[in-house]
Amino acid sequence: MKIWQKNIDVNKDIEAFTVGKDRELDLQMAAYDVLGSLAHVEMLESIGLLTAAELAEIQKALKNIYAEIEAGKFVIEDTVEDVHSQVEWLLTQRIGDAGKKIHSGRSRNDQVLVDLKLYFRSCIEEMVGNTAVLFAQLIELSNTHAAKLLPGYTHLQIAMPSSFGLWFGAYAESLVDDMELMLAAWKVCNKNPLGSAAGYGSSFPLNRTMTTELLGFERLNYNVVYAQMGRGKTERILAQAMSALAASLAKMAMDVCLFINQNFGFISFPDELTTGSSIMPHKKNPDVFELIRSRCNKIQALPNEIAMMITNLPSGYHRDLQLLKENLFPAMVSLNECLQMTTYMLQNIRVKDGILDDKKYAYLFSVEVVNELALKGVPFREAYKIVGESIENGSFKPETHINHTHEGSIGNLCNAEITAMMDEVLSQFKFEQTHQAIEKLLA
pLDDT of residue 55: 97
* Beta-bridge partners for 268: 350
Strand positions, DSSP E, 89-128: none
- Is residue 348 within 8 A of residue 269, CB to CB? The reply is yes
Query: What pLDDT is recorded for position 321?
Result: 87
pLDDT tens column, 61-78 = 999 999 999 999 999 888
Indicate the DSSP class of residue 279: S
Per-position DSSP letters for 142-171, written without gaps between them: HHHTTT-EEEEEETTEEEEEEEHHHHHHHH
- The DSSP 8-state label assigned to residue 218 in this structure reads S
The DSSP code for 359 is G
Structure confidence at residue 3 (pLDDT): 46
Residue ranges of alpha helices (H) inside 266-354 are 287-300, 302-310, 324-346
Cα atoms found within 13 Å of the Cα of residue 79, Cβ hemisphere only: 4
Distance CA 181, CA 164 (A): 26
- Contact (Cβ atoms closer than 8 angstroms) between residue 185 and residue 237: yes
Between the alpha carbon of residue 25 and those of residues 76, 322, 356, 367, the distances in Å are: 10, 10, 52, 56
Distances (CA, A) of 119 to 29, 30, 33, 160, 373: 6, 9, 9, 46, 60
CB 368 within 8 A of CB 402: yes
Query: Would you state the pLDDT for residue 324?
Result: 92
Q: How many CB atoms lie within 10 A of CB 206?
A: 23
Q: How far apart are CA 394 and CA 364, in angstroms?
A: 15
Give the pLDDT confidence score for residue 80 in this predicted structure: 81
Q: Where are the alpha helices (DSSP H) in 4-107?
A: 12-19, 22-26, 30-46, 52-70, 83-95
Neighbouring-strand partners of residue 151: 161
pLDDT score, position 371:
87
CB-CB contact of 50 with 141 (8 Å): no
Yes or no: say if 300 and 338 are a contact pair by the CB < 8 Å rule: no
DSSP strand pairing (157-163 vs 149-154): antiparallel
Low-confidence stretches of the chain (pLDDT beneath 50): 1-6
